[in-house]
Amino acid sequence: MNKTAYILLATGLVLVAGIATAAPLVYLDPASLDICEGEFTVDVVVNEEVTDLTGFDLLIDFDETVLGVVDVAMGQLLADYPGSPFFYWTDAGTVSDALLINGAALGGSLDGPGVLATITFSCLANGLTDLEFAMVEFRDIDNLPLPVTSEDGVVNVDDDAVVYIDPASMTEAVDTPFTVEVMIGDGIIYMDELTLVITYDQTVLEYMTAWVGGDVPAGSTFIESGGAGTIDIDLDVNVSMSGVGSVAVLQFKGIFEGTSPITLDSVALGTETGTEVQPCVEDGSVTIYGGSPVEELRWGMIKSLYR
């Protein structure tokens, strides 16, 4: 065998071995999350290498000063089992108040991929916490242990992870153009994509145009469209941006007296690290005074009759 053939054969053996040794895995989805406040869910997932699974015991540890467990629901993989599924969870009386989850496909077994459980957490305070698999035990129908590896997750709670309208409220005269900005707070880091749907009261405001915010890196792509009470914005950031900054400027004109909300109806963020972001949103409002241009014209005509 010549040297070239030997190298190719060796490489082929490594690749085959790599495929053959893919490990059964349990992991969290999302694996990494930045969130502002409120509640959120995390799925406990197994990959396709997990087979013949009858029972499982999981102990997930986290900082209980940052997160609290609201509920744990049976995952779809176990819920779809045609026999008798067993499912139990508790976060009371466990080591460090960790979350204990037990499940079983009684009289049968499960094959991945799929979701074993869905955990609902609540944010209690700002902070960074791991979601650590302190214990993972998988068993087959004979109650023998199954090999499995685990991948932990991480959650960062930061009430500055916010997208907001600036100024939050303002007053403008009819027929006078004005602008508001869409801002990100300093809890948002490494943002490289942003999609917004913004709504307003079209009986009070007329949308004119929008342009990219002053803090967005040069070379970024900004696409806007709007009208009939809705504005769509897509921003693809050339170099990821972090911290407080303006991402878009919206220009309106008041057309009738009244107050219109400027609502961040939908906000989707992408980051270069792949971290999922669930920001808080803070809407704005604008009050328009001075009557409608049509009313002012009518009053002008009436007053001219008595001059």
Query: Quick one: pLDDT at residue 19?
Result: 42
Domain with CATH 2.60.40.680 in the chain: 22-157, 162-294
Contact 88, 11 (CB under 8 A): no
Res. 273: pLDDT tops 70:
yes
**Cα–Cα distance between 252 and 158 in angstroms, integer?**
32
Answer yes or no: CATH 2.60.40.680 is held by domain 22-157. yes
Q: What pLDDT digit, counting tens, does each position of 59-85 carry?
A: 999 999 999 999 999 999 999 999 999
**Cα–Cα distance between 56 and 73 in angstroms, integer?**
15
Query: Quick one: pLDDT at residue 91?
Result: 87
- Indicate the DSSP class of residue 110: B
Q: What pLDDT digit, counting tens, does each position of 151-193 carry?
A: 999 999 999 999 999 999 999 999 999 999 999 999 999 999 9
Contact 45, 28 (CB under 8 A): yes
CATH number attached to the domain at 162-294: 2.60.40.680
Res. 277: pLDDT tops 60:
yes
Contact 166, 245 (CB under 8 A): no
Res. 25: pLDDT tops 50:
yes
The strand order across the sheet containing 162-166 reads 205-212, 245-254, 177-184, 162-166, 280-282
Query: Quick one: pLDDT at residue 7?
Result: 35
Res. 132: pLDDT tops 80:
yes
**Cα–Cα distance between 291 and 271 in angstroms, integer?**
45
What secondary structure, in 3-state letters, does 149-206 show?
EEECEEEEECCCCEEEEECCEEEEECCCEEEEEEEECCCCCCEEEEEEEEEECCCCEE
Q: Calculate the CA dihedral of residues 55, 99, 149, 85 and round it to 10 degrees.
A: 20
**CA-closest candidate to residue 246, choices 277, 210, 219, 197:** 210
Res. 11: pLDDT tops 50:
no
Per-residue confidence band for 229, with pLDDT thresholds at 50, 70 and 90: very high
Res. 20: pLDDT tops 50:
no
Res. 251: pLDDT tops 80:
yes
Average pLDDT (11-16) is 39
The C-alpha R_g of the chain, in whole angstroms, comes to 28
